[in-house]
Amino acid sequence: MKLNPDQMSELIIAATEVRQWSYSPYSHYAVGAAVLTTSGKIYDGVNIENAAYPTSICAERVALYKAVSEGERGFEAIAIVTENAGSPCGSCRQVMAEFGLGTIVLLADLNGQIRLQTTVADLLPHAFTPQDLPHH
């Protein structure tokens, strides 16, 4: 799929707006994410930190898990907004790969400027996917 400029803008705005709800008292690095499903719905998420650091969760996974918990399984694109257009961590890349290597990834800064447009496949080459598991 190719995103049109309106779709890109809508995703970036959604990710930017939801960023206000980030719970990031330790890193002070607020992240907002918005995912566009193949059904046309948008789900958003923020990073949620915890004093026990390993139990924190990234915005990308929150948005994807919200969508999956509502029955979605196909994703067209995800926009991730941070102050410096930071890239998703390895765990988020793996979760995105689970649902489609062709998913478009937009990394944007607080001004809404897309700093990188790529795909999950390009972010995670040689990804381990469900096709790598033996089928019984």
- 60 catalytic? Reply is yes
CB-count burial class (<10 Å; 0-12, 13-18, 19+) for 115: middle
Q: Which of 10, 60, 72, 83 is catalytic?
A: 60
DSSP 111: T
Helices 90-98/59-69 angle, 10° precision = 20
Catalytic positions: 60
